[in-house]
Structure 1
């Protein structure tokens, strides 16, 4: 017991030392650290490889070498000598000694995570945490992990090099954090001049583009984290198609369409609302979007996203009359992928191919996955390490405290049973959730995001392991109100007479009922299993009722 306490104390102490080493300036870096340094640490590995001699020298200059010698769970994206030679050529310098030490330290910190990320945790977009300098790296794994591209320029040439204090991935170029805010970047892009002027004249350039805000509730390496934003912008050429060739024309357009105060800085002015409607108050890479809707910086105005046929915004049907016939036309704003995912110091910039206008949203379909969206499954544990929902679900048991890091799902069951690791099912090749075969007295609570008011049919999708051969009863409730009678999940038809078994005999899509939601709000669906559990759960769907 005493040895275990000593080991735990050493880990806590060393975690504090790592934090200090990464956050202090070089003259403040800790020295003579000897705990847990005898293994093949990241720094020991680099020092023994001539192909990393420039990186080794840079780490020694900045004193970050001491951090990479001590105990921890770190990740280093390690530029090779050839990578540094590319960097020197870009900067017009001969060697590492010509780089300003503070600039070099910040540059190297952009290559380090204080969490261990094996390639199996890479995702399209970005990792769930920031690098040690507080910025994100953009990951492109569309061609496979072995061809991962970082920030559109650096290719990973060797994956998953193990070390006693983490992992290394070798890269063929030096990563450079953007020094520009969204405002700075747009000022270098003359083809966004009209929208930039609109942000300036409404006061939103200072509020949303220039400002580097910090979140006091999220502390990263001893400092508040940057509050990132995402914007979608029309280039001048797109506005020209709408006969908008200047800021004045844009202002006139929206003073005609909506009520205007003529005081563009007034948050209630129609032009101001239009400008803020282009902004999300969170970080989203293109790959992070699903078929979803998100509230814009113009409060109570939502952007609706669709991924069918490529990412688009506010796709909807407009009805018009042609003689006596009703013509239904699909309207949407497409996203220009080749001009999107622009990383700046305080946000991400995306380009669109049509005018984004506010409109009154109608109920849209909502799907909530029991295993969470792929973008939600990366978890940061209370001890600071990173993991995934897939790995943690079977470890959390009945512990409500442990489940707090899973915002969309809560669960419980009779004592003595153990959750089963989520497994890949025939549902679009995605994961299903099972507490354990034979568990009685289990329950789940699945929380939706904000749902638009309206009338919806509720469906559940699941895998029934023994169709027709076992009674697997459950009770469903919606915000505390029971949906129908006790349901036998093995029945081949639902209470409405629909055949629910799919082409694969044990896959079900069952309608539970219809609800009318009077306001925009979040909701909770609960499942109480009152017989042996032989069911793996995939999703809950809300489908708008079309009148």
Structure 2
């Protein structure tokens, strides 16, 4: 079985740039007569929140909890706060400092509404007001399934809708971490060898900082190896590790040194909990051009660099390293720490297929739970930075939902003319180009397939794709054209003509068309730019759904995608 990456199998969540320039960002669309959060806590008939109300007042958040907003409050009961005070060996809230009560409220408060239906086995989509992530999961206690927050508290009463947000009642106080990623590793004696390697290479300082040079927050993910994992690989101490890897120039702080590369390969940019890792299937590391891959096995094992690829003679299975789930997802003030159960290092990679859905990989869209896969929406152009990984010429960009594309959505652009006024939202001005930043592509040669939904057959348009500014010359995209007939017995003939049918068996209409745009040679593993330029004509409904990057020599047509999100893998 050849390996490939499908992006995404579940919605990719990473740290997103909030769409401050998008005028249509308001998640609440009308006022309400529901009580506000503070009023509910004060008037609770069971008198469960008297101490929380006192803490909110001392922290200076009474006004915020009484006025308009879109908050999520994780609300510990009086019993939970009493247990917290007992644990700290203090008698009353008055003995907690003002700084601590303020940080306590900030850690329990998000500035957007998050219902339990949006919880998953990983971090919530945005940071708390303290600037740290909360993680969620499900536990079974007494035969009942409960949502668990930060491995510290259970939700005992979910989704209490208020006029200014939502309350999730919890049975314990949540406590934030006070350690950086570097400190988490250093204070654990099980990581003594790896800690010394971090210090010798200079990466300890990198992982101990909460700010980048430009003052922005620094988020990092570290996959650390225990002494036990290293000893199982024949590395009994740091001296042995240094001898094994410190080969190039004897200076571990040099980025070209083998020991430096070994350590850097365990560091991922941004904060990625286990759920984030298994979403994307591959991730950049601090080593330029090198990535880690991952897979979820049997729904429970997370494996790093466990890969299969085909040779002329056989299928090769390269065993990877398992992540210890019970000791991973350890939050730090600047990221997250995971534990590897076995030793791993940089590996040589073969290119593999990337099936890229253009909507579900845009975090600024997917974090809008009231919009994504629910309704059509216009993203304002703003200053051109509304969406980090999509750029277009002017006006607005339409996210179209409830259609025949994969996952029932796609981006819709009017090229050469203004777009349609879908759902009476208004129309976006005509554009002459749109550009996307790709997922990570491993260096190698690929065929590029553009998947779209045909619309407006009488409006001829010609669009050319380019990859990193190099034109793709095999075919122009003509959004008014569809495959004349879909005959599964003639898939090879269609491919030879530069067409493929990419929809599943339930969608045999030729309107879901795919054009082979050209061949690319990816020289550098990483993310790249693919751009679409108007050559001639105009069409108000040009629908951008998926792009497939499939290595030369691999089957180009065997994977198909249904609007309901199911995937079909065939022999053809």
TM-score scaled by length of structure 2: 0.72
Deviation at 1:544, TM superposition (A): 1.4
Larger RCO: 1 or 2 (CA < 8 Å, sep 6+): 2
Aligned pairs for 1:326-341 (under 5 A) are: 328-341=316-329
What residue number does 2:358 align with?
Answer: 370
Residue 13 of structure 1 corresponds to which residue in structure 2?
Answer: none
Looking at structure 2, the residues matched to 418 and 365 of structure 1 have their Cα atoms a distance apart, in angstroms, of: 28
- Decide whether aligned partners of structure 1 residues 533 and 453 sit closer, same or farther in structure 2, where only a CA change above 3 A counts: same
Distance (Å, rounded) in 2 between the aligned partners of 1:368 and 1:134: 31
Cα displacement (A) at 1:457: 1.7
Unaligned ranges ≥5, structure 1: 1-35, 217-223, 381-385
Output the CA distance in 1 between the equivalents of 2:157 and 2:459.
Answer: 49
Q: Deviations over 1:3-41 (max 9, x none)?
A: xxxxxxxxxxxxxxxxxxxxxxxxxxxxxxxxx9x9832
User: Any residues of structure 2 matched to 1:57-72 within 5 Å, and which?
Assistant: 57-72=54-69
Structure 1 residue 272: deviation in Å? 1.5
Matched, 1:164 2:188: no
Number of aligned residue pairs:
484
More displaced 10-residue stretch of structure 1: 154-163 or 345-354: 154-163
In the alignment, does 2:509 pair up with 1:517? no
Instruction: Pick closer, same or farther for the CA change 1:185–1:84 going to 2, 3 Å.
Output: same
Q: Which residue does 1:405 correspond to in 2? A: 386
More helix by share: 1
- Partner SS, residue 69 of structure 2: coil
Instruction: Kindly state the Cα deviation for residue 211 of structure 1 after the two structures are TM-superposed.
Output: 2.4
The equivalent residue for 1:248 is 239
Query: 1:109/1:505 Cα in 2 relative to 1: closer, same or farther (>3 Å)?
Result: closer
- When structure 1 is superposed on structure 2, of 260-269 and 493-502 the one drifting more is 493-502
- What is the Cα deviation at residue 108 of structure 1? 1.6
- Residue 432 (str. 1) matches residue 409 (str. 2): yes
Residue 490 (1) aligns with residue 483 (2): yes
- Tell me, yes or no, if the aligned pair for 1:341 and 1:348 is still in contact at 8 Å: yes
Q: Offset at 1:161?
A: 2.3
Are 1:212 and 2:210 counterparts? yes
Instruction: Measure how far apart 1:225 and its partner are.
Output: 5.3
Structure 2 unpaired stretches of 5+ = 1-30, 422-429, 555-572
Partner of residue 443 from structure 2, selected from 453, 456, 473: 453
Listed one character per residue, the Cα deviations across residues 256-300 of structure 1 (whole Å, up to 9, x for unaligned) are xxx322222333321122112111121111111334433322333
Cα 1:474–1:158 change in 2 (3 A) is farther
What does residue range 143-154 of structure 1 map to in structure 2 within 5 Å?
147-154=146-153
Aligned to 2:550: 543
Say if 2:292 is the partner of 1:303: yes
* Aligned CA-pair RMSD: 4.1
Change (3 A) 1:355 1:87: same
Instruction: Call closer, same or farther: CA 1:506–1:110 in 2, change over 3 Å.
Output: same
Cα distance between partner residues in 2 of 1:179 and 1:434: 42
- Per-residue CA deviation, residues 37-78 of structure 1 (Å, 9 max, x unaligned), is x98322122111211111011112222223322333332211
Residues 123, 405 of structure 1: alpha-carbon distance in 2 compared, 3 angstrom cutoff: farther
2:265 to 272, 277, 288: 277
2:505 is matched with 503
Report the Cα offset of residue 317 of structure 1.
4.8
Deviation at 1:424, TM superposition (A): 7.7
CA distance in 1, matches of 2:330, 2:248: 32
The equivalences for 1:74-113 within 5 A come to 74-113=71-110
Distance of 2:529 and 2:239 partners within structure 1: 44
Distance 1:136 1:387 in 2: 21
- Pair 1:395 & 2:378 matched: yes
TM-score (norm 1): 0.75
Is the Cα–Cα contact under 8 Å of residues 456 and 545 in structure 1 kept in the other structure?
A: yes
TM-superposed CA distance for 1:101, in Å, is 2.9
Cα distance, 1:291–1:56 mapped onto 2, change above 3 Å: closer
Partner of 2:355: helix, strand, or coil? strand
Distance 1:240 1:424 in 2: 55
- Single out whichever of 229-238 and 124-133 deviates more from structure 2: 124-133
Cα 1:401/1:338, change in 2 over 3 Å: same
